Amino acid sequence: MKNKFKIKQNTKQLTVICMRKLLSICDTFTNEYDIKFIAQKSKLLVVSPSNCHRQATGQTSYCPFLIGGNQIEHVESLSHLGHIITSNLSDKEDIHYRRNCFIGQIKNVLCFYSKQRCSVRTKLFQTYCNSRYGCELWSLYDSSISDFCAAWRKAVRRILNIPPDTHNYLIKLIPLLLNNALPFLDDACKRSARFVFSCIQSDSSLIQSIAKRGIFEGHCKSVIEKNVAFLCSHFGWQLVHFVNTAKSRR
């Protein structure tokens, strides 16, 4: 155990040294080409291994990183290309953020087009309120997805102007009225399945091997393995059939 602890400590020290060396190269570059990196616009996000105790937050405060003579702020989460990335790689904040965006889009449609025909509202709903970019990488087991599903069902009731106490199982039949739009969970599962298919079918042998290793040797720790298990349970698929189908589609 002591040897493992020493290895971890040495790895952390080496990581810190390498990062500071890279930042010093940036400082040299700024001096040579008369440009400036703004530390206030940079963030430090430390992602610890899943099997590591969550002590990274306390430790990074004693490992400051500087650029241009100013310290880079350490954060637990940040927005990158419209997605929330957290230090524990949880999808909760990103799903919650996307859910709030979805609710805002629904309110805009209903605010400006509530008096339009139902067919017009459903078309607007399909066009402007169903952006799912990036949901392929979400963990389908995350409880925040259930909150998103509830928000989707409420939005459908309002778009179609049906009673708010309409049973949830009836909402699943409504996609026939929404230009064959899938319920949120089914759509997220479909996109996740297509993403896994694309990884297994990839022309890159590296991507193929990573995907297959994650599915078959993840030991219930890999996100892709958990998502495949969820997809098989949700759609009633067999795991072997799921993988073989992906291979046969090449």
State phi, psi for 57 to the nearest 5 degrees. Answer: -60, -45
E strands within the chain? 43-45, 66-67, 70-71, 73-75, 77-80, 83-86
pLDDT at 31: 86
In this predicted model, what pLDDT tens digit does every residue of 26-60 receive, in sequence order? Answer: 889 888 888 888 888 888 888 876 655 444 444 44
CA dist 163 and 165 (Å) reads 5
| Mean pLDDT value of segment 78-101 | 89
In this predicted model, what pLDDT tens digit does every residue of 96-140 receive, in sequence order? Answer: 999 999 999 999 999 998 888 888 888 888 888 888 888 888 999
CA nearest neighbour of 183 among 146, 212, 208, 211? 146
State phi, psi for 86 to the nearest 5 degrees. Answer: -115, 165
Q: Residue 6 pLDDT more than 80?
A: no
pLDDT at 58: 44
**More confident site: 217 or 84:** 84
Least confident residue range of 87-91, 135-139, 168-172: 168-172
CA dist 53 and 43 (Å) reads 22
Domain boundaries, the chain: 2-75, 92-181, 191-248
CA dist 136 and 149 (Å) reads 16
In this predicted model, what pLDDT tens digit does every residue of 188-216 receive, in sequence order? Answer: 999 999 999 899 888 898 998 888 888 88
